[in-house]
């Protein structure tokens, strides 16, 4: 009887199931949902088909197992929690192609879990709790270091004392500031972001505190409301606080302590209710020692310090973030790119000095300029591809042959590099681009060693 069941009849049966059924392809795009899923999300099948998992992750899920399944190629059964606090039972199973790569993930979701079903059971492997991927205001992580950051942020969301977020450029300090705002009682009021380095030092005070009419030459005749006033009831985020002019630091300190300020040209104070969050990629303590940052302001800002780890210390997050941004830009530019295993290896072992900002920029560049569906090592920016070549050369055993001089040994390794380059690119133009030599020299090297 089952052999006589056609595709449409099978789909009709799946639609009758109580469980939500979703199938994703290897680009995290939805390729099938049943009617239970339509009811849960309040969207039609046509609206959801082709959309990305990440479109729904931030809005609906506190955690998700899907990236874990793609990353480990293992099936998983686990309880998850929605943003509304409901517990659901999720089973996600990878489906492999002929090359044993994950081609699809089939997921079933059931709510109203009985107590005896609520225990997490990983079907093939026991993993750490950090396998749960967090999607908080686009903070995507399975890192234990970031878990600590989010835990501290959760503790201070409704504490009105100042907070200082430190870390290298590009690590996501602003995202943590927004995370605190969105999880606090101030979330319905403004989050006002000020980049202290982007404002001329001559007008920082008037931008921050505003000014009265006729305060200075060129001022607006009606005066201007300051950003501190705009943030009343919400959060004032002082980015790159290290760049605030020294002469303004005393006034900023007074504002933080008293929650009131004097607009430029005014003798009447304005009181506001704001939470102050500052961020910096500089060592403020060292700046205090050098006399370029006030010690009292430093300690007033540093009631709670959140240190953001660089991406190289969140290695388990690198491929998750690559997947997220690749999907984001695939949708933006209507592409369907995916990363090859070789590229994943290179990206996962890169130092990422520019952190998440650098990663996002590279993913966008690859999405736009790559013509092939699968992104290969030679599609990467030159500095990343060269790193792979250097690593391969490090792994090559160097033997000092008594019968060969230095020139002959260098030619031997040059031959290996040229051979590898032509195997991958099959074009003297592409070889010349990647090796940083002229096309004429690339052709000459090919003739020298292989003709």
Q: What is the CATH number of domain 145-307?
A: 3.40.50.300
Residue 193, class by beta-carbon neighbours within 10 Å (0-12 exposed, 13-18 middle, 19+ buried)?
middle
- pTM comes to 0.65
The pLDDT, as a whole number, for residue 451 is 66
Q: What is the CATH number of domain 312-450?
A: 1.10.8.60
Q: Which two tokens stand for residue 36?
A: 């239970």
Give the span between the Cα atoms of 142 and 316, in whole angstroms: 7
Q: Which two tokens stand for residue 44?
A: 């039609």
- Residue ranges, CATH 1.10.8.60, the chain: 312-450
Q: What phi and psi values does residue 34 have, to the nearest 5 degrees?
A: -100, 180
Residue 388 neighbours by CB distance under 10 Å: 18
Residue 82 gets which letter from DSSP? B
Give the span between the Cα atoms of 57 and 66, in whole angstroms: 10
Q: How many residues in total does the chain contain?
A: 451
- Residue ranges, CATH 3.30.450.20, the chain: 2-139
Architecture of domain 2-139: 2-Layer Sandwich (3.30)
The pLDDT, as a whole number, for residue 258 is 95
Residues ≥6 apart with Cβ < 8 Å to 128: 144
- Residue ranges, CATH 3.40.50.300, the chain: 145-307
The pLDDT, as a whole number, for residue 70 is 79
Q: Which two tokens stand for residue 368?
A: 């736009």
Give the span between the Cα atoms of 174 and 21, in whole angstroms: 36
In this prediction, the residues of the chain whose per-residue pLDDT falls under 50 are 1-2, 113-132, 135-136
The pLDDT, as a whole number, for residue 172 is 93
The 3-state secondary structure of 325-363 reads: HHHHHHHHCCCCCEECHHHHHHHHCCCCCCHHHHHHHHH
Query: Considering only CA atoms, which of 201, 179, 264, 279 is closest in space to residue 228?
Result: 264
Q: Which two tokens stand for residue 102?
A: 């994950």
């Amino acid at each position: 009887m089952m052999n006589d069941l056609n595709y449409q009849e099978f789909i009709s049966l799946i639609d009758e199931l109580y469980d939500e059924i979703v199938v994703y392809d290897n680009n995290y795009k939805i390729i099938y949902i049943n009617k239970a899923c339509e009811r849960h999300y309040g969207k039609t099948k046509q609206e959801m088909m082709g959309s990305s998992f990440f479109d729904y992750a931030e809005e609906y899920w506190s955690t998700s197992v899907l990236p874990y399944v793609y990353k480990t190629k293992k099936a998983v059964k686990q309880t998850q929690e929605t943003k509304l606090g409901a517990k659901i039972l999720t089973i996600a199973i990878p489906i492999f192609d002929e090359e044993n790569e994950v081609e699809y993930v089939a997921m079933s979701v059931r709510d109203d879990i009985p107590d005896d079903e609520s225990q997490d059971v990983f079907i093939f492997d026991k993993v750490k709790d950090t396998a749960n991927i967090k999607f908080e205001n686009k903070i995507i992580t399975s890192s234990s270091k970031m878990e600590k950051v989010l835990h501290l942020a959760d503790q201070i969301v409704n504490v009105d004392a100042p907070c200082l977020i430190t870390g290298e450029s590009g690590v996501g300090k602003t995202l943590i500031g927004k995370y605190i705002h969105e999880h606090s009682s101030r979330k319905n009021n403004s989050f006002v972001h000020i980049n202290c380095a982007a404002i001329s030092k001559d007008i920082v005070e008037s931008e921050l505190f505003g000014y009265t009419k006729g305060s200075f030459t060129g001022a607006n005749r009606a005066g201007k409301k300051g950003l501190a006033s705009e943030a009343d009831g919400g959060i004032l985020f002082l980015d790159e606080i290290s760049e605030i002019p020294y002469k303004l630091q005393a006034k900023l300190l007074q504002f933080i302590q008293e929650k009131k300020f004097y607009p430029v040209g005014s003798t009447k104070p304005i009181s506001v209710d704001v939470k102050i969050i500052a961020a910096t990629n500089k060592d403020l303590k060292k700046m205090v020692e050098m006399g370029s940052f006030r010690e009292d302001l430093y300690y007033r800002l540093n009631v709670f310090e959140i240190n953001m780890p660089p991406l190289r210390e969140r290695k388990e997050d690198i491929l998750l973030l690559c997947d997220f941004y690749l999907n984001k830009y695939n949708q933006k530019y209507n592409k369907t790119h995916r990363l090859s295993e070789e590229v994943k290896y290179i990206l996962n072992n890169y130092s990422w000095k520019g952190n998440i900002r650098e990663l996002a920029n590279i993913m966008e560049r690859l999405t736009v300029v790559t013509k092939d569906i699968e992104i290969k090592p030679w599609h990467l920016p030159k500095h990343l591809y060269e790193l792979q070549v250097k690593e391969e050369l490090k792994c090559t055993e160097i033997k000092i042959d008594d019968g060969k001089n230095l020139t002959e040994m260098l030619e031997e390794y040059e031959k290996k590099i040229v051979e590898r380059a032509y195997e991958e690119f099959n074009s003297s133009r592409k070889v010349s681009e990647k090796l940083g030599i002229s096309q004429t020299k690339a052709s000459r090297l090919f003739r020298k060693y292989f003709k």
